Structure 1
Amino acid sequence: MQDHLKIQFFTDTFLPSVDGVVSSMLNFKQELEKRGHEVFIIASGDSRTKAAVKKNDRTIILPSIKFKKYPQYNLAWMPLIASIKFGFSKFDITHLHTPFTVGMYGLLYAKLNKTPTVGSFHTLFTRSEVIKQYTTSNKVVQRFLIKSSWPYAKFFYGKCNGVIAPSTSIKNLLNRHSIGNSYVVPNSVDTKKFNPNVNGEKIRRKYLKSERERLVLYVGRISVEKNIEVMLKAAKILKKKQIYRFLIAGTGPMLDYYKNMAAKYGLADIVHFSGFVDERELPRYYAAADVFCMPSTFETQGIVSLEAMASGVPVVGADYLALREMIINGKNGEKFAPRNGDDCAHKIEKVINNLGYYKKMVDTAKMYSVEKSTDKLLEVYKALLDKNGN
């Protein structure tokens, strides 16, 4: 493999949104360029996206239409602009981070230019609850989309020379749906930014009334697939203990729904919703927590759970998909039965009562450092280039 690679990243989600896909791309871009490679990002976006991008940062923002039900994603409508800006530039690798309008354009561009292509399977867009939530209310169309989601995934990723799964559980899922030629390359966590030495006292003082209280944190999108109702049910059970406070940090389409649920459960005094948290402030939120709760059964890897571990915070998470791999009971957290509020409450209490026993969080996070994940990504690129005769 060449010492200097020219790489394209194609994505339908980008700044100012900072989800797992965006964090992964930016971490990889920074580390790859640090090693002497060139990385160009082609993303859908708007004026806010352009404002968030640094000048001369090898980033092309395609005009797009906001996807109202899922505002992190934009539907690009003039992808050929990228071709004009690239001219006849030759790239070594095309990396597709999403399988939608920009991803499909990237696939076409790569095929026309005979560039080895790798596609990342970041999101379970094939899940029925996601399709119902974020597409149309028309039941006939919903059924069609649900029925065709995996065939589409198989078509898109089947056209790639390689497929990247962020965890072994997702690689196995892809194999079950006849999507082969896959490699496990975890998305990375910035272990310098998120570390146990960050001071979270300011956040604790804001949300806790006394030193004896314990803070249970969730960070992420407030949406149906994240199963936040499980955390609220656990909060209802633990309320009688009088030491637990719950902080739900983030925003999303289900924010008002969960606020109303918390009020209905009589949890207004112990459950707080912070709303949007600036990326620069996020390490302080993790540092403020005694335990991190991730009730989602949607995680292909679980970047926020790794950020919590990197901050020295044990994770209580659903025993499902990637979280099942990441969480080691009694070491870096505890797993609970998926969608089970009673078990979630039990495991939160177990961790809080035995905080001194959980000491492997940072060690786990270091396994997913930017450097180690980038090493694995470059191994995939090398394998594809060797197969392509480069």
Structure 2
Amino acid sequence: MGETFSFAPPSRHRTHGTAQQDGPAGSARPRVLIGSDTFPPDVNGASLFTARLARGLAERGGDVHVLCQSPDGRPHVAEVAGVVEHRLRSVPSMVHETVRLAVPAGLPGHIDRLLGRLRPDAVHIQNHFIVGRLLLRAARRHGIPVVATNHFMPENLFTYLHCPPSLRSVIGVGAWRDFVRVTSEADHVTTPTRIAAQLLLEKGFHRPVEAVSCGTDLHRFRPPEGGDAERARIRRRLGVPDRPTLAFVGRLDAEKNIGELVEALGHMTDSDAQLVVAGTGPQRSHLEELAEQCGVADRVHLLGFVPDVDLPDVYHAADVFTIAGTAELQSIATLEAMASGLPVVAADALALPHLVQTGHNGYLYPPGSAGDLAKYAGEILANPRDRARMGEASRRLVSQHDHQASLARYEEIYRGLAGIRAATGG
């Protein structure tokens, strides 16, 4: 499940502090502390991956703890779905209506005490901002090995930071330099795809990087049973007409380029086709206005927030999954759509070509070209036989991304690091 890209000879970092004990006596799986600046109820790819990683490891018998921000500002500890959540005091981020940030004051001491009490076999950070950065530094002091997974793209922050386009290149260079400086201190670095690993090389990260898929639940996300009748029933349940349907699932943010999906409807020869979008974000009003301007408001359905338990129905209501984002390191939603048996029309950008094979399970279109998106989506909708063939191909391709295999690989990484630590007396 994991592929290693050795861009430079591996290096081991010296650690300081007293030796740490392994996880619980007799435990077959290491005790892990996962650190992240974003965690549910936040809605984004990093948050979703972190939650599914933590809960998946716990379901497999792991002793899993998560250090993350509190959703209401109040620090507390709670066990949820077998995972112990250590929620930190937080404040509004001021740049996003729902995102909160952990308060740095007093946090290093708190993390030191937590590490001393838990004595985890490994720390796994999901970002290099407040929580990830301070947890990595503390783990080095305690001699605890660190795994770092990259979900970072500066493009995902520019809109929130109100960064002028003229400054984005310079700020992006500085942001990547900071990422490389911080993350190079980790013992093992992963990212979801080979393309994302290559990106790190291009940005100056000269350490081995392993591609480990975010993975998807192939049992939960699967083609619907019952054919067209079942699809019609699901559409009624979601409150949308029984029409040929394009779908998108994700944040309504600028870098997702959802406006291209709306514009594509106006280019399609099938005037009955509709777009169903599941997700929330600051672009909602813009998308509503754009749909009016394009004359397709009656065919654009913004469902808003859809609970995770109901997400399979969104894919089951669709005939084609469409995604226009140009800053995707993998795209969990695309994996879910493929597992649900959908053809995919995606922007030919960053890691999306890793998932879409033109003519096999869908098409790639030039980013920004709503006309090409409409052409490819229209071809799929017009040919039920090809649509079924491409959906089956999606399902076969995504079988390589079973989240159980991803979880098993992370367990191997933790055990390997814990073994090196024990052998060296670190």
TM-score, normalised by the number of residues in structure 1: 0.90
Q: Which residue of 2 aligns with 1:366?
A: 399
Q: 1:63 pairs with 85, 89, 95, which one? A: 89
Shift in Å at residue 3 of structure 1?
A: 2.7
Query: What is the match of residue 313 of structure 1?
Result: 342
Give a deviation string over 1:321-354, Cα, whole Å, max 9, x none: 2210111223322211122111111110122123
Q: Residue type of the partner of 1:174?
A: L
**3-state SS of 1:41 partner:** strand
Q: Does 1:227 align with 2:257?
A: yes
Task: Name the structure 2 match of 1:174.
Answer: 200
CA distance 1:259–1:47, shift in 2 (3 Å) = same
Query: Quick one: structure 1 residues 60 and 302, their matched pair in 2 at CA, closer, same or farther if it must change by over 3 Å?
Result: same
1:45-67: CA deviations, max 9, x gaps? Answer: 22399799628731100011122
Higher mean displacement: 367-376 or 44-53: 44-53
Matching of residue 24 in structure 1 with residue 56 in structure 2: no
Q: Which amino acid aligns with 2:403?
A: V
Distance 2:73 2:380 in 1: 41
Q: How is 1:193-342 mapped onto 2 (pairs within 5 angstroms)?
A: 193-197=220-224, 199-205=230-236, 208-210=240-242, 213-238=243-268, 240-342=269-371
Contact conserved, 2:54 with 2:83, CA < 8 A, in 1? no
Shift of 1:387: 4.7
Measured in 1, the distance between the counterparts of 2:52 and 2:368 equals: 32
Q: Cα distance, 1:230 vs. partner?
A: 1.4
Counterpart of 2:36 in structure 1 is 11
Is the CA contact 1:131–1:142 (under 8 Å) kept in the aligned structure 2? no
Amino acid paired to 1:356: A
Q: 1:344 to 1:96 in 2, by over 3 A?
A: same
CA–CA separation in structure 2 for the residues paired with 1:272 and 1:30 = 32
CA distance in 1, matches of 2:149, 2:372: 33
AA aligned to 2:247 is: L
Contact 2:224 2:231 in 1 (8 A): no
Q: 1:3 to 1:253 in 2, by over 3 A?
A: same
In structure 1, how many angstroms separate the alpha carbons of the residues matched to 2:99 and 2:397?
31
Aligned to 2:248, the other structure's residue is in SS state strand
Q: Which whole-Å CA distance do the structure 2 matches of 1:363 and 1:186 have between them?
A: 16
Aligned to 1:356: 388
The change in CA–CA distance for 1:86 and 1:163 in structure 2 (over 3 A counts) is closer
Runs (5+) with no aligned partner, structure 1: none
When the two chains are superposed, the root-mean-square deviation of aligned CA atoms in Å is 2.6
1:191 correspondence with 2:224: no
Task: Specify the SS of the correspondent of 2:309.
Answer: coil
Q: CA deviation at 1:225?
A: 0.6
* Shift in CA distance, 140/366, structure 1 to aligned 2, threshold 3 Å: closer
- By how many angstroms is 1:389 displaced? 5.1
Q: CA separation in 1, counterparts of 2:396 and 2:82? A: 36
* Residues 161 and 181 in structure 1, CA contact (< 8 A), matched pair in contact too: no
Partners of 2:365 and 2:232 in 1: CA distance: 29
Alignment CA distance shift 1:81-1:23 (3 Å)? same
Residues 334 and 351, structure 1, Cα contact 8 Å, conserved in 2: no
SS in 1 for 2:80: coil
Q: Displacement of 1:107 after TM fit?
A: 0.8
The partner residue of 2:134 within 100, 105, 114 is 105
Match of 1:345 in 2: 374
Residue 108 of structure 1: how far off its partner (Å): 1.5
Give TM-score, length-normalised by structure 2: 0.83
Whether contact under 8 Å (1:188, 1:369) holds in the other structure is yes
- Cα deviation, residue 138, structure 1: 7.6
**1:157 matched to which residue of 2?**
183
How far residue 8 of structure 1 moved from its aligned partner, in angstroms, is 0.8
Q: State how far apart, in whole Å, the 2-side matches of 1:273 and 1:56 are.
A: 33
- The range that moved more, 356-365 or 48-57, is 48-57
Tell me whether 20-29 or 270-279 shows the greater mean CA deviation: 20-29
What is the identity percentage for the equivalent residue pairs of Structure 1 and Structure 2? 26
SS of equivalent to 1:119: strand
Alignment map for 1:138-149 (pairs within 5 Å):
145-149=171-175
The Cα of 1:243 is off from its aligned counterpart by 2.1
Residue equivalent to 2:3 = none
Looking at structure 2, the residues matched to 131 and 142 of structure 1 have their Cα atoms a distance apart, in angstroms, of 10
Kindly state the Cα deviation for residue 37 of structure 1 after the two structures are TM-superposed: 2.4
**Distance in 1, Cα, partners of 2:388 & 2:333:** 22
Structure 2 residue 102 is matched with structure 1 residue 76: yes
Larger relative contact order, structure 1 or 2 (CA cutoff 8 Å, min sep 6): 2
